[in-house]
Each structure stands twice: as C-alpha cells, then as structure tokens.
Chain A
Amino acid sequence: MLDVQLTKRRRDFTVSFSLRLGAAQSVGLFGASGAGKSTVLACIAGVEQPDDGRIDLGSTRIFPPPLPLHRRPVGYLTQEPSLFPHLSVRENVTFGVPKSEAADPERAKWIATLKERLKLAPLWDAPASRISGGQARRVALARMLARKPPLVLLDEPFAGLDRQLVRELIDDLIFWSKSIGFSMIAVDHQSEVLMRLCPEMAIVLEQGKVVQSGTWSELCSAPATPLLRSLLARL
C-alpha cells in the first residue's frame, strides 16, 4: 500500500498531492503540461525532495526523512531512458540485480522473459550507446522491471514509440503488474495511453492542485474544469 501526502513549492505554484494506492493497483496522473504531474513522481522517486508531507510504501517510510535512493523500493522510468552508455544492453538490464541473485534460476527466467517480451534478443550484447531511442526505452523498461520493484513510476515512458509497440508494452505492463503485484503511477500527455495503462483510476492536476479524481468514465462524463473538458474533448 502506497500512502502519499506531499507539498512541493515550485517557482510558479505549490504542488499539493495525496494518494492511497493498493498493491497491483494503478493510477494515471492527467493534466496539461506543467501541471505538476512529473514533480509528484520525482518526489515519490526521490530525485526531488518534497517540502512537506509524508510518503509510506507498505511499512517503509520513504519521507520524511528522505530515504536514500538506493533503499527506495521504486522503479522510475522517465522520457529519457538514461541508459548507462558504457555498458551493453545485457549489462544495463541486469544492472540492478544483486550479485547474490544473479545465479537464481527464477531471476534468470524473469530476465529471459523480459528479453523475449521486450524484443531485446537482437540487441542483447550491443553497446547501449549504439541503439535507437525506441530500443533504449525498451531496455530502460526491462532494467527497471528486472528488480521487480513493488512500485513503478512511469513518466511519459512511451513518448515517440509507435502505436503497436506502445499497445504491446502496455499489455505487458498490466499483465506483469497483476502477476508480480507491483503498483503503477503513470503520467502521460496522451489520455488514450493513460486510460489503457491505468484503466481503474485517474487523478487530474491543474496548477499543482488535484481538481478531480475518479474513474475515467466519471472524468469524461463530468469534467470538473473547462481545461479538463478541453483536454478530454481531444479524445
């Protein structure tokens, strides 16, 4: 169970956000660009620090005090894949797997599944610096999932990928979320991607404030603000 209450002062406004999310549940953060969605993910991941609030993941207190990044049981995927360019694709994918688990047959089977489902076999030994942007995104996704984190944060991870691949990746993520049991918080500027990835619940942010939350059908039938109405009207 993830329990978040945070405020983060930004130059233009203050982001205030709260959320309770159960295991294997997913929620999509929706809103116009610059609404504070990525700030929320960055604060939960720990790459930014909230100014106030509390973040608990199960029995682990993440904030305050800020839990060091290496102890956070969180997978964080951003638009920028941030692969380690000096390592091969294989080394990137297995980067976060502890040495003690490297020889574990279960772990090896999981890595092999990721390799197959994310179509990484042809690039497996290639240097990460030599692969395309779309391939890099798939490698970054595999690297994040290789550790089986209980919470996955996705900040527009499919930007620039073709529709068919996005659909496949979303189906895989949903399947793995249910089978492994990780929760997901996703941000995407494309509402159709977000609806597919997080069909259960959405939270709408405007100027750092939650203006509406609920199911997608609730949002679509009675949007709380004119901006949300216009964003959803594009569907």
Chain B
Amino acid sequence: MIASRRWITRLGAAAFALALLYPLSAIFAHVGAWQWNEEVRGPALASVRVSLLLTTLAMLIVVGIGTPMAAYIAQCKAKERLLWQAALLIPILLPPLALGILFTLAFGPFGSVGRLLNHWGVVMTNSATAFVATQVYVGMGYYVLGAVAALDAVPSMLQKQAALLGLTPVKVFFRVTLPLARLGLAVALSIAWVRAVGEFGAVVVTAYYPSGMPVQLWVDLQSFGLPAVMPLLVIFLAVALPLPWLAHVLAQRRSNA
C-alpha cells in the first residue's frame, strides 16, 4: 500500500518534471528546413564570438570585484549586511529594459559620467565596452549574493582556527575559505553567467551592436523567421546550459550527501 502510494507520488513528480522540460522538445518542432546559409551563418557565428568573449570578460570582472565584496559582506554585522544586500538587489529586481534605458542615460552622452567617459574615448553605447559593462551590471548582484551565501556556509570556527595557527586573513581566505566555498561560488558564477549571456532587454538598448546571441536571435527571427533561428538557438543552449547545470548538480549532490 505504502509502496504503491510512493509510486503514485513519484509518477506525479515525473509528470511535473516533464512539464518543466517540455519546452526543450521544441528544438525538434517542424518549422521547415533549418536555414544556415552565409547570410545567417556569418552574423550568427559573430554573435557567438561576441557573447562568449565579452561575457567571459564580464564574468572575470564580476568575480574580481564581486568576490572581495562578498567576502566583506559575509563578515559584516546584520544591519550593515542588510544594507549591502538591499543595494545589490536593486539591479537584480530592475526590469531589464528599464535597466538598459537607465544605463544608457547614465553612461551615454546624456549623463555626466557618460560625457566624462566619452571625453576619454570610452564609448558607452553600442560598443564592446557597453556590452561588457551591461553584463557586469546584470550579473554582479546575482554573483555577490550567491557568493555571500557560499562564504557564509564555511564554519567561522575553521577560519578562526586557521588564524590561530598563524595564517593572516588573506591566507585564511585562500587556504580555507575559498576551497571550502568553491562549489557555492561556482554556482553563484553560473547563475551570473546564465543571466548575463542570456540578457536581452538591457543589452538590446545599450549594445545592439556588437550583437550577442540573444540580440542576433531576435534579429534573425524578425528578418528570416524560425528556420533561421534554430541553429543559433541550439548553439545558444549548448553554450549557456551545460556548465551551470553541472555546477548546480554537483552542489546539490554535496548538499544531499
């Protein structure tokens, strides 16, 4: 009786999971012969290059600035920590299109910072710099908040013991905190990566050129229709999905162990 009830529950869970994964089956939808001629291929491959290179650069910046920030927040007292977390939530909660418009106004030729940057030759609209900066803004909050959670999960007594064994705070971070938090940090980075590489709403305003994959998909859909979109869509999923998925599965396995 209990076993059969368990199987019914399991079937229900399987139906739920299938419903969630169902949209992926649309890759095999009948949309006609996929279009991959020179007119589509050239811009599509260029967009893959743009997305991979510039998102990687953006993630390096996110990790480089976000990790020390997360380490600082993780050791703040509750009130101060809440303040930083509230600030980091704002770019996460802003509707992407609104973020793109605000970003362009602030850093474009209309904003004082934008004028200053322009004066120094840094163009913040429709440029690689704008693309990277937008992705940094989009991904930073996700990474830092995830990294704070990962660093919080490291028992503070281990860090104190390491310090009492003569390690400076920097060495404690690199020899104890970072190795123990690495999977959580990888998960935080993977979320930031997925969010940044898939960003459309903000990037379409700030950096229509150089086009990344989401913008190119939109352009292809508008110009050529679904058959031209499908090859790039498959590449997009292959680029965006496997690494973050693996990081999450490993993290889940560890937390279930």
Binding site for B on A (CB under 8 A): 45-47, 68-70, 72, 74-76, 78, 80, 82, 84-86, 95-96, 98, 143-144, 147
Which residues of A sit under 8 angstroms from B172, Cβ to Cβ? Answer: 70
Q: Give Cα distance in the complex from A96 to B167, angstroms.
A: 7
Cα-based distance from A147 to B166 in the complex (angstroms): 9
In the bound complex, how far is the Cα of B179 from the Cα of A78, in angstroms? 23
Q: A78-B157, A80-B157, A82-B158 are in contact. Are A72 and B164 (CB under 8 A)?
A: yes
Residues of A within 8 A of B242 (CB): none
Contact of B169 with A by CB under 8 A: yes
Report the 10 A-B pairs with minimum CB-CB distance, sorted nearest first: A96-B165, A69-B163, A82-B161, A70-B163, A86-B179, A82-B157, A47-B160, A96-B166, A69-B164, A70-B168
Most chain A CB atoms below 10 A, which of B160, B161, B167, B172: B161
- How far does the Cβ of A70 sit from chain B's closest Cβ, in whole Å? 5
Nearest-Cβ distance from residue B183 to partner chain A, whole angstroms: 11
Residues of A within 8 A of B167 (CB): 70, 96
Quick one: given A70-B168, A84-B176, are A76 and B163 in contact (CB under 8 Å)? Answer: no
A-B contact pairs, 19 of them (CB 8 A): A45-B164, A46-B164, A47-B164, A68-B169, A70-B166, A70-B167, A70-B169, A72-B164, A74-B164, A76-B161, A76-B164, A78-B157, A80-B157, A84-B158, A84-B162, A84-B176, A86-B179, A96-B165, A143-B165
> What separation, in Å, do the CA atoms of A74 and B163 have in the docked complex?
11
Docked CA distance A76–B155 (Å):
16
Q: With A70-B166, A72-B164, A147-B165 as given contacts, are A82 and B180 in contact (CB-CB < 8 Å)?
A: no
Q: Taking each of A70, A98, A143, which has the highest tally of chain B beta carbons within 10 Å of its own beta carbon?
A: A70
Whole-angstrom CA separation of A74 from B166 in the bound complex? 9
Question: A-B pairs with CB below 8 Å: how many?
Answer: 46
Residues on the A chain within 8 Å of B161, using CB: 76, 82
Q: Which residues of B contact A45 (CB under 8 A)?
A: 164
B161 to chain A, nearest CB (A): 5
CA distance A45 to B168 in the complex (A): 16
Alpha-carbon gap, A86 to B178, bound state (A): 11
Cβ contact within 8 Å between B160 and A69: yes
Q: Out of A68, A80, A84, A143, which one reaches B163, CB within 8 Å? A: A68
Which B residues fall within an 8 A CB radius of A?
Answer: 155, 157-158, 160-169, 172, 176, 179-180
Q: Name the B residues within 8 Å of A72 (CB-CB).
A: 164
CA distance in complex: A186, B176 (Å): 27
A85 CA to B180 CA, complexed, in Å? 8
Chain B residue at minimal CB-CB distance from A78: B157
- Nearest CB in chain B: distance from A114 CB, A: 14
A47-B164, A96-B166, A144-B165 known; 16 other A-B pairs, CB under 8 Å? Answer: A45-B164, A46-B164, A47-B160, A70-B169, A72-B164, A75-B164, A76-B161, A82-B155, A82-B158, A84-B158, A84-B162, A84-B176, A84-B180, A86-B180, A96-B165, A147-B165
B165 surroundings in chain A (CB, below 8 A): 95-96, 143-144, 147
Q: Which chain A residues border B164 with CB–CB below 8 Å?
A: 45-47, 69-70, 72, 74-76
- For A95, what are the chain B residues with a Cβ–Cβ distance below 8 Å? 162, 165
Q: How far is the CB of B181 from chain A (nearest CB, A)?
A: 10
On chain B, the residues within 8 Å of A96 by CB distance are 165-167
- Distance, CA A84 to CA B167, complexed state (A): 14
Chain B residues with CB under 8 A of A80: 157
CB distance from B156 to the nearest CB of A (A): 9
Q: Report the minimal beta-carbon distance from B221 to chain A, rounded to whole angstroms.
A: 47
B164–chain A nearest beta-carbon distance, Å: 5
Q: Tell me, rounded to whole Å, the shortest Cβ–Cβ distance linking B29 to chain A.
A: 46
User: Measured between alpha carbons, how far is A76 from B162 in the docked complex, in Å?
Assistant: 11
How far in angstroms is the closest Cβ of chain A from B172? Answer: 8
Contacts of B160 in A (CB 8 A): 46-47, 69
Q: Which residues of B lie under 8 Å from residue A144 when comparing CB positions?
A: 165
Contacting residues, chain B, for A68 (C-beta < 8 A): 163, 169
Which chain B residues border A82 with CB–CB below 8 Å? Answer: 155, 157-158, 161
Instruction: Please report the C-alpha to C-alpha distance between residue A98 and residue B168 in the assembled complex, in whole angstroms.
Output: 12
A94 and chain B: residue at smallest CB distance = B165
Q: For the complex, what is the distance from the CA of A95 to the CA of B162, rounded to whole Å?
A: 8
Closest A residue to B182 using CB positions: A86
A77 to chain B, nearest CB (A): 9
Residues of A within 8 A of B176 (CB): 84
User: Residue of B at shortest CB range from A140?
Assistant: B161
In the assembled complex, the Cα of A68 lies from the Cα of B166 at a distance in Å of: 10
Q: How far is the CB of A38 from chain B (nearest CB, A)?
A: 13
